[in-house]
Structure 1
Amino acid sequence: MRQFTAIVNPTAGGSTGVAALLRVARLLREAGAELETEYSRSLVHAQDLAREAGARERIVLAVGGDGIAGGIGGTLSGTGTVLGLVPAGRGNDFARALELPTDPEALARVLLDHAPRLVDTIEVESARGRAVVLGSVYAGVDALANRHANHARVLRGAASYYMGGLRAVATWRPAGYRVTVDGEEHTHRGYTVVVANSAYYGSGRIIAPEARVDDGLLEVVMIRHAPRRLFFTLMNELKSGAHVHRPEVRILRGREIRIEADRPVPFGADGEVDAVLPVTARVLPGSLSVLC
């Protein structure tokens, strides 16, 4: 029977992280699994706890949102330790990409019975150093939107990201980007550049419909300058992925992508990294073992 160490972000989505784990934990223990619970004081502390549990050959459960999932998943990338997710955050986008069920009983069955699957991760290098994340790296207006969403005190989930996007777009001025994909340089002026391992970001918005977590490639989505009214329309089209058909959107694929800009442009990754370009993202194929 499997042995789990659950690492909880107590603040993810309010107090829902603890509540989500309690529902799943009862089912795991009733099935005979061993489960220990650790509460993280910070993302760095959560990563330390994950490494310690992995060294004891336990399955690590990341309980929370994309921040703790990406932080723990990045730490476990390349180690052979198996990761499980108990989604309980604002976005839960990587869990969505893995098609994890939201029903506690169905999720418990995945954690108990399903074989681990190898998925890709993203190595991120910038002036702040090296990190490994799971879902995406985004540079431009969406990094500002994510920052606003993270500081929202009233709204949650998709609503916080949508309002954060409106606030960011209202003050954004186009940036000149230089995007190098596997050694080939592309210039771009506009709103954002997204390097996606997962199709989803921003609480279920389909930024890269063709992105797959296990194909050894990253999707590069570039949104060029357009009137603000058109950009708001495009934001709505992210719900279905229809934005990719617009002439203002260009999509490339590659294994190593470097993003630079003609002025200080913020970038983020999995909702946690908050820095300024330039940044380099590299795919790490099949580097993480996940229950999904």
Structure 2
Amino acid sequence: MAPRLGIVVNPTAGRNAGRRTGRDVLDLLRSAGADVHDLSAADAAGALARARAAVADRSVDALVVVGGDGMVHLGASVCAGTDVPLGIVAAGTGNDIARELGLPVRDPAAAVERVLAGRTRAVDAVRSVGGPGEPRWFVGVLAAGFDAVVNERANRWRWPTGATRYTLAVLRELPVFRPIPYVLTLDGVRHVTDAMLVAVGNGPAYGGGMRVTPDASFDDGLLDVLVLHRLPVPEFLRVFPSVFRGEHVHHPAVEVLRAREVRLEARGIVAYADGERFAPLPLDLRVVPGALHVLA
């Protein structure tokens, strides 16, 4: 029996190459005999609603997303906590989650082969506990410090676009940024600190190769909580580039803690997860072992 696949495409992924990649993936899947339902919509909210409806009424056997980490985030929001697996065609700019899971990156044909093979891998996912509406999930890294503040600033601007906007946001934020007072509660143990950056990693990397929690694992049932404590801005700038090699963890101002449940509290901070705007703090997070089945 032909597999029934729902597919959601981000047309702007990979510097606007997503639409073409999506068409290629649709052609490959249909040529292989799959029964494919295109669930894409005019915006992410519409695609999320359509995908949730398809999974809820069991009209698809698996959901396939085409794009970057933001599309994996959307797919996890739909499939985590269910037995419907998620297929990932990594076609974005960063693709950190797919890369760290060992999936093909910017190779639609190879990614489609993985989807059609039907073999799954159970990975952990992180659920935001409490709050109204549907539960919120993420798979990779949640940012709740300087990086999140820069994202908020950049997302208020309509111009410039692309990486230039974030570079400019960093330059604008640095002169006014001050260490953030946090209260962190990890498996019931309370920590109070001023920090430049706090990241909660279910996986190792975010932001296009920044290995912020380099020892985090998708299947160990634990969250790696990285805290970069108070630093002078010049020292912060000196340390930050080493995140691409994961060497920042050796700096004396960096602390990495592990927990199953994490509560983050800080005033005026909006967290970003898998590169997407997630929720304002305070946040209560819980890792759910094996909550997401990935076609891997």
TM-score (norm 2): 0.88
Q: From the two aligned structures, give the one with the greater strand fraction.
A: 1
In the alignment, the residues of structure 2 paired with residue 214 and residue 238 of structure 1 have an alpha-carbon distance, to the nearest angstrom, of 22
Which of the residues 206, 220, 229 maps onto 2:225? 220
Map 1:81-96 to 2 at 5 A.
Answer: 81-96=84-99
In the alignment, the residues of structure 2 paired with residue 170 and residue 125 of structure 1 have an alpha-carbon distance, to the nearest angstrom, of 35
Extract unaligned runs of 5+ from structure 2: none
In the alignment, the residues of structure 2 paired with residue 243 and residue 152 of structure 1 have an alpha-carbon distance, to the nearest angstrom, of 33
Which of the residues 101, 105, 109 maps onto 2:109? 105
The answer to whether the aligner puts 1:121 opposite 2:125 as a matched pair is yes
- Report the AA paired with residue 256 of structure 2: I
| Alpha carbons of structure 1 residues 166 and 241: separation in structure 2 relative to 1, 3 Å | farther
In the alignment, the residues of structure 1 paired with residue 219 and residue 161 of structure 2 have an alpha-carbon distance, to the nearest angstrom, of 33
| Alpha carbons of structure 1 residues 152 and 196: separation in structure 2 relative to 1, 3 Å | farther
Paired residue for 2:149? Answer: 144
In the alignment, the residues of structure 1 paired with residue 146 and residue 284 of structure 2 have an alpha-carbon distance, to the nearest angstrom, of 18
Which of the residues 51, 69, 72 maps onto 1:69? 72
What is the deviation of 1:207?
0.6
| Alpha carbons of structure 1 residues 154 and 92: separation in structure 2 relative to 1, 3 Å | farther
- Give the CA RMSD over aligned residues: 2.4
Q: For each residue in 1:229-278, what CA deviation from the matched residue of structure 2 results, as whole angstroms up to 9, or x when unmatched? A: 221222211111010111111000010001112x3223222222354321
- Report the AA paired with residue 29 of structure 1: R
Paired residue for 1:273? Answer: 277
Is the Cα contact below 8 Å between 1:179 and 1:259 reproduced in 2? yes
How many residue pairs align between the two structures?
A: 290
Which of the residues 187, 191, 195 maps onto 1:186? 191
Q: For each residue in 1:185-235, what CA deviation from the matched residue of structure 2 results, as whole angstroms up to 9, or x when unmatched? A: 112212121111111111221111111111111100001111212212222
- Report the AA paired with residue 264 of structure 1: G
3-state SS of paired residue (2:48):
helix
Is the Cα contact below 8 Å between 2:3 and 2:34 reproduced in 1? yes
Paired residue for 1:264? Answer: 268
Identity %: 37
Is the Cα contact below 8 Å between 2:125 and 2:290 reproduced in 1? yes
The answer to whether the aligner puts 1:173 opposite 2:174 as a matched pair is no
Is the Cα contact below 8 Å between 1:116 and 1:291 reproduced in 2? yes
Extract unaligned runs of 5+ from structure 1: none
| Alpha carbons of structure 1 residues 114 and 202: separation in structure 2 relative to 1, 3 Å | same
